[in-house]
Amino acid sequence: MKPKLVVIIFSLFLFSCSANNQSSDTKNAGLSINGTWRLLQGTLIEKGDTTITDYTKNVSFIKIINDSHFAFLQHDLQKGKDSASAVFVAGGGRYSLKDSTYTEHLEYCSAREWEGHDFPFTITIKNDTLTQTGIEKVESAGVNRLNIEKYVRMKMTSAALARFHRMPSLYVSR
């Protein structure tokens, strides 16, 4: 009888460890922000006016996030040939993430007056969609607005993956 009790207790222990690991993995996977994200739509609300931008037409905007830094790049899809719609914007820096609060510490930006500012956002991730909502305030640029951005996680194509594996290593040993 005693061996059966040991087996039951051990089985319960294994089950509880497995259940805890599963919920922890699910929680971490829910806020896994590392990767490349394509901006689908941006909504700016400033002084009662709302501007919605569709980033799937005329412009492309991506955000790249690794363990410690983020970078964003935006350009027009006419390759700068139409001077009325030509645009190139870039920026990046460190970020912090605590629970659902994602704060960008903008260190580099093509709009230089934005450099040195922190932008806290609340983020949610559902499947492959990231939504970030927060106040952007840059007094020197006269900016004080609510910014809501909706991104989709980009997947590496098999052709890009094959090119990546054919690349020579940039690592140099000393």
For residue 40, the surrounding DSSP H or E stretch is strand 35-46
Domain 31-155: give its CATH code. 2.40.128.490
Query: Measured between alpha carbons, how far is 173 from 58 in angstroms, rounded to an integer?
Result: 44
pLDDT in tens, the chain (174 residues): 555 544 444 443 333 343 333 322 323 344 689 999 999 999 999 999 999 999 999 999 999 999 999 999 999 998 888 888 889 999 999 999 999 999 999 999 999 999 999 999 999 999 999 999 999 999 999 999 999 999 999 987 766 556 655 656 555 554
Give dist(CA 19, CA 30) in Å, integer. Answer: 17
In terms of Cα–Cα distance, which of 165, 163, 153 is closest to 35?
153
Residue 32: CB atoms within 10 Å: 11
d(CA 97, CA 121): 10
Site of tokens 């919605």: 52
Domain boundaries, the chain: 31-155
Q: Is 125:155 a contact under the CB 8 Å cutoff?
A: no
Q: What's this model's pTM, rounded to 2 decimal places?
A: 0.72
SS3 52: strand
Whether the Cβ atoms of residue 33 and residue 102 lie closer than 8 Å to each other: yes
Structure confidence at residue 10 (pLDDT): 40
The token duo for 50 is 């709302």
